[in-house]
A and B are shown apart, each in its own frame.
Chain A
């Protein structure tokens, strides 16, 4: 039999054909690669969350190989001598062993924790971007809701993880959680004893938290992230207004190669930051806290930052307990119920409803693919700032004991500042943001009507001094003057400085010496009719 020669150069094409015969992938694959993504830095915030999640999955799998969530009693015999012989749960034991007796285990633990903090932070900032630019509007309400759910489920996931190592902080967090669940009317005690299999802390809670933390909640997160991305692909990304950009198109670069390359590179950078943090900055040193004991707590017991606002709301809540008698029995509604059950309830439902509330308020049922600048929607921006103000007061109050300690302020004064602040700061934020929006709007219109300030002061024949304004377009009388028609506002940045109009020469490239001749400006900015500087004549000998 004659041996056939393998033609290597034909191999990729042959493989491609073989695959296509089976999967008919050519058209969908090309469609995917041709998908156009708009480009703006603010669109990368969600990507940070996505990449952090990947790091969380990777580092989490490593941790799960060595961690045992059992609450069985054991004595520590590992290499961290200060804990030698201390009675502890198997969970805490394995968490400490992960930190000291597993090669690179501490690095992975810290990577996991830092990635979780970054994941939540990126979600929050991404949410700000989506909110303030109106990206949640029709047709994207569903994806906004998925995003809000991702935040809350992410918070829950983080809390479960925080409780797992069974150190003093996690146990304290769990105990507070018990009090929160207990405070729920009617079912509180039933839910608590069912969760803990009896009395706190019992013997089963960590096993249950563990399965929630490594399977149930990550599964939910993964599913929601898939829906989030799927809807993004289906509905396509929003874009900022600008030249050539309409409500019916997407202007940008195609997914392959441009967008994917940048995205891949960005993933590496996010990963790099998490890895550097994991190595250089200590986080959650559980061996210093010791195992959880019901009688032990230290000052400055704070949850992770994304739960801190709820801790703050708990601290600020006045001791208003409702007791009443009904059908012969006495009943109680503890004060902790309001800041930790009712408040999160409102804070999760209200944002989900917001797209519909705003659509009803503005009677806007149209489809929006173009983003809005925050200044152009002062009401929404002010509401958002109000929410942020509310949130920041709670966040700071979550650490008010540390602030009181470091700045030598009375702790009670800090609590009262928070109580008053929670009433005053949000409306103040609303007002200030609203006024700033109006001011910025006005300035945009002013520049469009009168032009950019040039910094050139001109003296008129009558002795009056005026500043020369550079109009952005030729107006009816040929000169942009104060009463020219000006330009229509296009919902996008108005150039407000002369070098934005090309008044400066392009930068010369090269660090030590110019590597190329400065290219002549590609297009003489015709819309900026600054008369060219008069050619200098060489001074020759005076004749």
Chain B
């Protein structure tokens, strides 16, 4: 088969059953019937078995061989390589290589397979240029008219225009049914955010109701209470309500940052709080406690810069001035962090005098 560039004229039908047809004649005829003209079709190697052709065959065969090696490597590694994680020193090296070996072997197998197939297609399949006709644009006018007639006829037979009563009745019937389709989904999952029994947005784990109305202790994650002297000057600690499950995600809005300010800063903080009706009196000595839940997006604002008394939220870089009612001073947060009013009980442990006086966490529509 040599270059078939200009054989039969495109529109002439071929007698497919003629035994004298070559296979390419049939292919061309098939293509023609599908609106495709093969305008150029030439074997890459007109003379079979040349040096160049054999070289390409060898390359492809070599790639398949590499694919074989990669595939074998993957299976062997997967089955026999030590893969369990070990915390020991010596044998851990081998198991650490498990994953890289899987990736390298499977990668090699697939890469060489892909390259072999592409090389085969590009170097050994005949060079081809085919042209297919597009049938763009609209359908023939008569087809449009026939279909449009059918559709409009449907409407007329049903008498949509003629029978307004029926249409009204149908709409009436369909409306509740449509609601019925949506009702189970909406109705089953809907939760009233302002339920009286569970103040989702107004309460945290610091509400004394969790402790029979008694003030709740500030505790560490392990539940141990905290004495003032356990925090060094300039130090900070994340505290949780001292109630069962207080440090779990059940009370995801309760984590609080307890900070011991330097004396001068503590005075500044107290002075600033004095002008703030909500925060006045919340400070205990040089200790302040602010909600750790960022008022912007709810991340824990946890990077405390001791020198400047700023608290940075690592999610969106909102910064709060701890000595000034945790006012937002940079970034996208628009509200200060709520302050937890704290005190020390008779045993010398920190307690929360009450719950937060303002909602914790991100703002929302109904929030004043």
With a CB–CB cut-off of 8 A, which chain B residues contact A194? 189-191
Closest to A368 in B: B136
Closest to B70 in A: A272
Stretch in A129-137, A177-185, A428-436, A484-492 touching the partner: A177-185
In the complex, whether A421 has a CB less than 8 A from a CB of chain B is no
Contact A332 B317 (CB under 8 A): no
Contact A336 B297 (CB under 8 A): yes
Contact A104 B200 (CB under 8 A): no
Stretch in A30-38, A347-355, A381-389 touching the partner: A30-38
Report the Cα distance A110→B116, complex, angstroms: 26
Contact A296 B300 (CB under 8 A): yes
Contact B361 A189 (CB under 8 A): no
Closest to A319 in B: B334
Contact A193 B131 (CB under 8 A): no
Least distance between B305 CB and chain A CB atoms (Å)? 11
Report the Cα distance A315→B316, complex, angstroms: 5
Contact B362 A36 (CB under 8 A): no
Contact B316 A330 (CB under 8 A): no
Contact B125 A261 (CB under 8 A): yes
Report the Cα distance A167→B313, complex, angstroms: 19
In the complex, whether B118 has a CB less than 8 A from a CB of chain A is yes
Contact A200 B193 (CB under 8 A): no
> Number of A residues contacting the other chain (C-beta, 8 Å)?
114
Q: Contacts A254-B31, A265-B121; is A335 near B131 (CB within 8 Å)?
A: no
Q: Contacts A178-B298, A254-B130, A319-B332; is A184 near B316 (CB within 8 Å)?
A: no
Report the Cα distance A236→B368, complex, angstroms: 57
Report the Cα distance A110→B332, complex, angstroms: 34
With a CB–CB cut-off of 8 A, which chain A residues contact B299? 172, 175-176, 297, 301
In the complex, whether B62 has a CB less than 8 A from a CB of chain A is no
Contact B132 A319 (CB under 8 A): no
In the complex, whether B128 has a CB less than 8 A from a CB of chain A is yes
With a CB–CB cut-off of 8 A, which chain A residues contact B100? 279-280
In the complex, whether B68 has a CB less than 8 A from a CB of chain A is no
Contact B114 A268 (CB under 8 A): yes
Least distance between A166 CB and chain B CB atoms (Å)? 10
In the complex, whether B217 has a CB less than 8 A from a CB of chain A is no
Q: Contacts A265-B114, A271-B110, A411-B317; is A253 near B128 (CB within 8 Å)?
A: yes
Mask, B121-165, CB within 8 Å of A = 1, is 110010011111110110000000000000000000000000000
Contact A297 B315 (CB under 8 A): yes
Contact A320 B364 (CB under 8 A): no
Least distance between A213 CB and chain B CB atoms (Å)? 17
With a CB–CB cut-off of 8 A, which chain B residues contact A332? 363-368
Report the Cα distance A31→B35, complex, angstroms: 9
Mask, A527-543, CB within 8 Å of B = 1, is 00000000000000000
Report the Cα distance A139→B115, complex, angstroms: 35
Q: Which of A30, A35, A251, A269 contacts B111 (CB 8 A)?
A: A269
Stretch in B82-90, B176-184, B259-267, B269-277 touching the partner: B82-90
With a CB–CB cut-off of 8 A, which chain B residues contact A87? 248
Report the Cα distance A179→B333, complex, angstroms: 12
Least distance between B63 CB and chain A CB atoms (Å)? 10
Contact B117 A261 (CB under 8 A): yes
Q: Which of B85, B125, B132 contacts A258 (CB 8 A)?
A: B125
With a CB–CB cut-off of 8 A, which chain B residues contact A36? 36, 130-132
With a CB–CB cut-off of 8 A, which chain B residues contact A320? 334
In the complex, whether A94 has a CB less than 8 A from a CB of chain B is no
Q: Which of A185, A190, A244, A319 contacts B193 (CB 8 A)?
A: A190
With a CB–CB cut-off of 8 A, which chain A residues contact B121? 257-258, 261-262, 265
Contact A261 B190 (CB under 8 A): no
In the complex, whether B351 has a CB less than 8 A from a CB of chain A is no
Q: Which of A279, A315, A336, A401 contacts B104 (CB 8 A)?
A: A279
Least distance between B67 CB and chain A CB atoms (Å)? 9
In the complex, whether A408 has a CB less than 8 A from a CB of chain B is no
Q: Contacts A201-B252, A297-B315, A315-B331; is A249 near B133 (CB within 8 Å)?
A: yes
Mask, A274-310, CB within 8 Å of B = 1, is 0111111000000000001111111111000000000
Contact A294 B293 (CB under 8 A): yes
Contact B134 A248 (CB under 8 A): yes
In the complex, whether B120 has a CB less than 8 A from a CB of chain A is yes
Contact B368 A401 (CB under 8 A): no
- The 28 sampled A-B contact pairs (Cβ below 8 Å) are A103-B78, A103-B83, A180-B297, A183-B364, A188-B364, A199-B200, A201-B252, A248-B136, A249-B132, A253-B128, A254-B31, A261-B117, A261-B118, A262-B117, A265-B117, A266-B118, A268-B111, A269-B110, A279-B103, A294-B300, A299-B303, A316-B332, A318-B332, A331-B368, A332-B364, A332-B367, A334-B296, A369-B136
For the complex of A and B, 6 pairs with smallest distance between CB atoms: A279-B103, A330-B368, A276-B107, A268-B114, A295-B255, A265-B117
B: which residues have CB within 8 A of A? Answer: 30-31, 33-34, 36, 38-39, 50-52, 55, 78, 83-87, 99-104, 106-111, 113-118, 120-122, 125, 128-134, 136-137, 189-194, 198, 200-201, 221, 238, 240, 247-249, 251-255, 292-293, 296-300, 302-303, 312, 314-318, 328, 330-335, 361-368
